[in-house]
Amino acid sequence: MLKILVFLVVAVAADRPDRRQYDPGQQLSYYKNFTKCPIGTLTTTFGAPIEYVDATVTLNRPLIRNPYIMDELPHLVRERIPERVVHAKGAGGFGYFEVTNDITHICDAKLFSAVGKKTPIAIRFSLVTLEKAVQDTTRDIRGFAVKFYTEEGNLDLVALNIEAFVFRDPVMFAGFVRSLKRNPATNLRDFNMFWDFVTLRPETVLGIITLFSDLGIPASYRNMPGFPIHTYEVINKSNQKRFVRFHFTPDAGIKNLFTEQARNIAGQDPDYHSRDLYRAIGNGECPSWTLSVQVLTPEDVKNAGFDVFDVTRFLPHDKYPLIPVGKLVLNKNPINFFAEIEQLALCPSNLVPKILGGVDKMFESRIFSYRDAQFYRLGVNFNKISVNTPFQTEVFTYTRDGRAPVKDNGRDAPVYYPNSFNGPVPYRAKKRQEITQIYEGPSNNFDQVREVFDNQMSEEERTRLIENIVGTLRLVLRVLQERAVKMFKSIHSELGERIELALFGNRTTTCKN
């Protein structure tokens, strides 16, 4: 029964006969047309009916004996949960993943087991570094997180819209995030902090170049790609190891906004991307993405000539071509945003048999940090919240109690392992595959930045990249400007010289130390 109820929460939006999501601005009108009359008698949270006077007026009446206001006011001041430190503002929807190509020779996880097989999914798109109140079209890295509700449990692929991450050592994570937040004294965004961090850790430069390029502001979430950034270790049907990088490519094409376009949209609609996604799904346009993989054998890893597990590098597509796997389709809007999107909890540690995860240190740190973040925001039972429940499989654990929801709390089954009383037991793998251990040396991203600048950008794209970089560098101290110019010159002489000319060609526009 539980599995049926949870599935209905995910699927019910598609069953509305009036297609109530045509226009997000008219959602309430659609709801009224669908329901025709009040849906029921107003009650307290305990289920007792509320009398008209109690819900209408409190003047000259005892407040403490009014069950309506005693429900409403205490709840109001407790309605907010902690905002995500990263990925705070987002939008999402529900749909399915369908296998279109047989890849069991690459990965034999059950969700890939047969062409035509469908798996329910949830996707959350987000801005990464800024607060929930920010405009959707702000220049920022974006998140692209997919939860697959498989028969073997939930698989979460947590991706970004840039193909290479900004650093590979997790010790840098807290500092990088804080450099993009608000100055603790002024409570304002301070690009001195950002450029100070970037120029002190130049391995960030490939991700930063992507951010300031034309790829930095998607035209819509429907036109945004996703890259889980890690090289995942997987097992094929012959029990052999393979290594893959996943790619989500929008079927509507990758499209982006220029800086001025984004500014104009932000002034008119700060929730532009969220509104566009909701409207598209509600209109039945069903945004879709092709899931593909780049594949390496253990021999390929040894002979690559560079560290294929380095998350600050992309794998060259000419050497490791994309192999199609299937389609992700969104066809259902959330019925309630807070319940289904704000509480959607994604963790890279959510893996399934035959997908072992990334072998790098960043992935290891994310196994801890994402789960810890969900414990803090949603409580230790966050996987019992309906949208996070792995409803295609039965869950048997020894975890009990804690903050709600606890559902049936394991009923009357034994509460410890091992036991002699028929509690759940672990399965025995026929041949256990351990995660590959690797050595991670120093980063070297400059060669890929040069490749991107020289061979993947047109002259117009180079010009816009420099304008976008200079737009923020103009706001920082002279010492940081000079350090940035030096860094960019060491990466690519033309890039550094053009930034230097744009910054210092008119000395009156530069900041003084």
User: Is 257 contained in some domain?
Assistant: yes
Q: Is the pLDDT of residue 22 over 80?
A: no
Whether residue 240 is found in the same domain as residue 128: yes
Contact 437, 359 (CB under 8 A): yes
Q: Concatenated DSSP letters for 460-480? A: HHHHHHHHHHHHHHTTS-HHH
User: Is 470 contained in some domain?
Assistant: yes
Whether residue 349 is found in the same domain as residue 478: no
Instruction: Identify any residues that bridge with 355 across adjacent strands, giving them in sequence order.
Output: 234
Nearest to 46 by CA among 64, 63, 68, 31: 68
- What the block records as the tokens of 41 is 């008698």
User: Is 5 contained in some domain?
Assistant: no
Whether residue 365 is found in the same domain as residue 505: no
The total number of structural domains in the chain stands at: 3
**Per-residue model confidence (pLDDT) at position 511:** 46
Nearest to 309 by CA among 353, 246, 370, 245: 245
- Give 7's pLDDT tier (boundaries 50, 70, 90): very low
Whether residue 106 is found in the same domain as residue 49: no
**Per-residue model confidence (pLDDT) at position 4:** 42
User: Is 191 contained in some domain?
Assistant: no
Q: Concatenated DSSP letters for 383-417? A: GGSGGGS-TTS----S---SSSP-TTTTTTS--SS
Whether residue 476 is found in the same domain as residue 332: no
Nearest to 82 by CA among 384, 386, 382: 382
Question: Domain boundary at 51, 79, 107, which?
Answer: 79
Contact 83, 132 (CB under 8 A): yes
What angle do helix axes 478-491 and 459-473 make, rounded to 10 degrees?
150
**Per-residue model confidence (pLDDT) at position 338:** 96
User: Is 449 contained in some domain?
Assistant: no
Question: Domain boundary at 79, 107, 137, which?
Answer: 79
Whether residue 101 is found in the same domain as residue 73: no
Q: Is the pLDDT of residue 12 over 80?
A: no
Whether residue 225 is found in the same domain as residue 156: yes
Q: Is the pLDDT of residue 499 over 80?
A: yes
CA distance 178 to 180: 5
User: Is 401 contained in some domain?
Assistant: no
Q: Is the pLDDT of residue 169 over 70?
A: yes
**Per-residue model confidence (pLDDT) at position 506:** 57
Whether residue 50 is found in the same domain as residue 95: no
CA distance 282 to 299: 47
Whether residue 165 is found in the same domain as residue 232: yes
Find the domain containing 69 and state its range. 41-79
Q: What tens digit of pLDDT does each residue of 343-360 get?
A: 999 999 999 999 999 999
**Domain with 100 in it: what CATH number?**
2.40.180.10
Whether residue 370 is found in the same domain as residue 482: no
Whether residue 64 is found in the same domain as residue 124: no
User: Is 260 contained in some domain?
Assistant: yes
Contact 415, 398 (CB under 8 A): yes
Whether residue 352 is found in the same domain as residue 483: no
- 77-93 mean pLDDT: 94
Q: Is the pLDDT of residue 204 over 80?
A: yes
**Per-residue model confidence (pLDDT) at position 51:** 92
Q: What tens digit of pLDDT does each residue of 96-110 get?
A: 999 999 999 999 999
Question: Domain boundary at 357, 388, 419, which?
Answer: 388
CA distance 215 to 272: 17
Q: What whole-number percentage of the chain has pLDDT above 70?
A: 94
User: Is 436 contained in some domain?
Assistant: no
State the average pLDDT for the chain.
91
